[in-house]
Amino acid sequence: MSDFLSDWYFWIKALHVVSVISWMAGLFYLPRLFVYHTEQVEPGSATDAMFQLMERRLLRAIMGPASIATWVFGLALVFTPGIVDWSEIWPWTKATAVLGMTVFHHWLMARRKDFVMGRYRISGRGYRMMNEVPTVLMLIIVFSVIVRF
């Protein structure tokens, strides 16, 4: 298995990067949709149904598959011999941030269900603030991998 991972390392790495970009696009966009949904849309209206459809499709068609692909290709990279030295700090900071990103993704899924139930629990301002979470996590991940702190 390790020969396979080593032989396909650059393909796996490229697929990991593409998956991460797709996942991040959704993580940046969905909270922004929630801002507009909260501030501009009346529960039960046709616009509410349209926003719910957009949010569901973004989660199920883009973010879900992209997050799974990110994890699969990322774990393949982790198990490629010579790529990760767990005695260093950077893999631990990256892993922690990726877990945080996954928790944030699931938090967004729960917030979408709030809209389905007609509950607007968080203000537009709250969603704007939460929109910064993936940015902070992304910075930790990128600096961990590139600078290796």
* Host domain of residue 109: 2-146
Number of domains present in the structure of the chain: 1
Beta-carbon-side half-sphere exposure of residue 13 (alpha carbons within 13 Å): 8
Q: Is the pTM of this model over 0.95?
A: no
Report pLDDT for 149.
80
Report pLDDT for 139.
97
Residue 94: exposure state from Cβ atoms within 10 A (0-12, 13-18, ≥19): buried
pLDDT 10s per residue in the chain (149 long)?
668 999 999 999 999 999 999 999 999 999 999 999 999 999 999 999 999 999 999 999 999 999 999 999 999 999 999 999 999 999 999 999 999 999 999 999 999 999 999 988 899 999 999 999 999 999 999 999 999 98
